[in-house]
Amino acid sequence: MITVEEAREYLRLDGTDNDGIISPLLDAIPGYIELTTGMTAAQQASEPLAKTASKFLLLLWYNPEQADVEKIQRVIDNLLKGLSALATVSN
């Protein structure tokens, strides 16, 4: 859904030094979204809202002590609610 290159850009990172941290986070995101919303990874691949949620999850998980956790979590919660509604309609 999100490439490592996109993740670096979103996190405003230069170079590949943090790819070992970023890659496992990216791998975990589709499963997390499926678990919390019921939207499969295949459905997520074509849903722009899932990509947006993925970016916010990455931001929160990558460096939580540098993030405004409460605001980001509210955004994530609302995005996941929207994805849950879409997953319900799709099924």
pLDDT band at 77 (very low <50, low <70, confident <90, very high): very high
pLDDT for residue 1: 84
Is the pLDDT at 91 greater than 70, yes or no? no
Would you say 8 and 22 are in contact if contact means Cβ atoms under 8 Å apart?
yes
At residue 17, the 3 state secondary structure works out as coil
Say how far apart CA 66 and CA 60 lie, in whole Å.
Answer: 9
46 has pLDDT over 90: yes
Q: Pick from 91, 20, 24: which is nearest to 57 by CA?
A: 24
Domain positions in the chain are 4-90
The confidence score (pLDDT) of residue 89 equals 83
* Residue pLDDT, tens place only, 50-74: 999 999 999 999 987 877 889 999 9
pLDDT of residue 90: 73
